[in-house]
Amino acid sequence: MSDETERHRQDNSSPALHFEMVRRKPAASLAGIVTDICGYRETMPGHFRIVEYASLTVPLVISFADPFAIGLGHAPADNDRYASFAAGLYAGPVMIESFGGCCCVQVNFTPLGARQFFGLPMSELRDRMVGLDHALGLDGIALRERLGEATG
């Protein structure tokens, strides 16, 4: 485990925080394809909001619990619920709300890595989010099931 991963674990283990997060660098074989991998789990009920600003990564989120409410450039509406999804590059702020029951793994790809992994031109993901089944088909559903059954 890297020092960075350990710090996140220590910082987020406080009972006052509503989540736990562990972030890791990918294996050397994924250099230039994946920037990092993150595990996230909410530990308290509540309504939480964050704003993330444009980045040069393409996230793949695989959810094992409640969905997030996500608005690209706007506050999320009732129909903006996403569990397992891929999101393309977006130049504006992304508003994320959760309600205390989210648990997921997020893989952040470089744009080139996302193109290789998804087999899609990045123009098909730009400024939008797509469900795991759309991004990866049946392989995506199988991946979610395998990860959900993993013990570690």
Q: pLDDT tens for residues 2-29?
A: 434 433 444 444 445 788 999 999 999 9
Give the per-residue pLDDT at 125.
Answer: 93
Domains annotated on the chain, with CATH: 24-149 (2.60.120)
Helix (H, G, I), strand (E, B) or coil at 17: coil
pLDDT on residue 117? 94
Cα separation of 140 and 146, whole Å? 10
Residue-level pLDDT at 93? 96
